Amino acid sequence: MSRRTWTLLTSVALVVVFGLLGAFARVPYVALGPGPTYNTLAAEGGVPVVRIGEEKTYPTAGHLNMTTVSVTDQLSLFGALGLWVSGRYALAPREVYFPPGKTEKEIERKNTRAFRHSQTAAETAALRYLGYPMKVVADRIVRGSPADGVIAPGDRLIAADGDPVTDPPSLSAALSDTRPGERVQITFQHQGQSPRTVTVQLAERPDDKPQGFLGVNPVARPDVDFTIDISLADVGGPSAGLMFSLAIVDKLTPGPINGGRFVAGTGEINAQGEVGPIGGIGFKMVEAREAGATVFLTPAENCAVAEPQAPEGLKLVKVSTLTDATEALAAIRAGQSPPTC
């Protein structure tokens, strides 16, 4: 075999090997890009995204779209390069989204928990904004604490050491002068049962503060006799909270809150109605504009990153609270200019 033939065969073999590696070898990266967008006022798969039972609701119009980021895993070298070159996707280390030692089921459960927490916070923020009464319930019970086996998650907290529990801080205030070993009376109510009062002996706090420790994490929840169900399959994380809150407000108040326009947005929300920053806002703006949105509700802390990336024709409205968002939409309905990024 001549040198030329040998060189040619070697080159062909290398090309084939490189091609196989590029096509089939997995790289330790994921591709982030625009994901699906969902109208929280509409239905997905025949099921309303936000459904309110046993309470009067009002007709809605237009869109209040939540936005998502797609995460593409199991990329080949060529696949990763192709997505990156397109300019529509960004590559990120896989371990950021799929931590070593965690199974896909564990990661999925974590994202589902975050999504459910977002739903609960969205409901509480919306109903608080609308003036519905609130109650204080046990969100989490510390294992092995005085409350463990006595109070259950979801129980309503009524009084502590003789003081009414009217909001989460009032429970801490009621126990602020106690010490480990002291006995205090706690009045609470299991769902569907009459209130009861028990005496518990407080323990030492894990953070070494001098006050007695009960072991209950109190949270505010709406004290209403109707239910709100938020249904959206295959979506995780907390960043749709603001849009869920707005959908609830829209359905419980007369007149379309968006004036019938196509409004999209993003933002985590807490029970007090405060809007927090999220990731991937550039991708979310792209998908929103492509779907037809002209207004994008943007967490104030994301504005510095979002403003230079905003697609043409998409107005970025800056919001820090649920009230900011409703007032901005009212301004748009009135033909006025809301605060922008």
The C-alpha atoms of residue 71 and residue 306 are separated, in whole angstroms, by 20
Side chain identity at 227, as an amino acid letter? T
Q: Do domains 34-70+103-131+226-333 and 134-222 have the same CATH topology?
A: no
Higher per-residue pLDDT: 140 or 25: 140
- Catalytic annotation, pick one of 145, 245, 284, 318: 284
Instruction: State the CB neighbour count (10 A cutoff) for residue 334.
Output: 9
Sign of the CA dihedral with 209 first, then 211, 215, and 220 last: negative
What is the distance between the alpha carbons of residues 220 and 235, in angstroms, rounded to a whole number?
25
Q: Tell me: the pLDDT tens digits for 4-26?
A: 544 444 444 433 333 433 334 56
Within 10 angstroms of residue 171's Cβ, the number of other Cβ atoms is: 23
75-108 pLDDT, tens digit each: 776 666 666 677 788 888 888 888 887 787 887 7
Check residue 112 and give its pLDDT.
79
Instruction: Say if CB 127 and CB 119 are below 8 A apart.
Output: no
> 34-70+103-131+226-333: what fold?
Ribosomal Protein S5; domain 2 (3.30.230)
Which pLDDT does position 92 carry in this prediction? 83
Domain covering 134-222 in this structure, CATH number: 2.30.42.10
**Strand 63-72 relative to strand 262-265: parallel, antiparallel, unpaired?**
parallel
- CA atoms of 160 and 6, how far apart (whole Å): 87
Q: Are 263 and 297 in contact (CB under 8 A)?
A: yes
Tell me the HSE value of 263 on the side-chain side, using a 13 A CA sphere. 29
Q: How far apart are CA 320 and CA 315, in angstroms?
A: 16
pTM value is: 0.85
Mean pLDDT of 143-163: 94
Nearest to 161 by CA among 172, 146, 148, 149: 172
Q: What is the dihedral of CA 285, 286, 291, 293, to 10 degrees?
A: 40
> What is the predicted pLDDT for the residue at 164?
95
Q: Which amino acid is at 63?
A: H
Q: Which of 108-112, 303-307, 326-330 is predicted with the least confidence, judged by mean pLDDT? A: 108-112
Q: What angle do CA 233, 237, 239 make, to 5 degrees?
A: 105
DSSP string, 239-255: TTHHHHHHHHHHHHSSS
Asked if 102 and 250 touch (Cβ cutoff 8 Å), the reply is no
- The first and second tokens of residue 42, run together, are 């509409």
The Cα–Cα gap between 240 and 269 comes to: 8
Q: Is the dihedral of CA 329, 331, 332, 338 positive or negative?
A: negative
- What are the residue boundaries of the structural domains of the chain, listed by start? 34-70+103-131+226-333, 134-222
Query: Which helix (H) or strand (E) element contains residue 91?
Result: strand 90-93
284 is catalytic: yes
Predicted local confidence at residue 79, as pLDDT:
67
pLDDT value of residue 86: 72
Q: How far is CA 165 from the centre of its chain?
A: 28
Beta bridge partners of 332: none
Q: For the packed helices 322-333 and 104-129, what is the interaxial angle rounded to 10 degrees? A: 60
Predicted local distance difference test score (pLDDT) of residue 210: 92
Catalytic residue among 239, 245, 251, 318: 239
318 has catalytic annotation: no
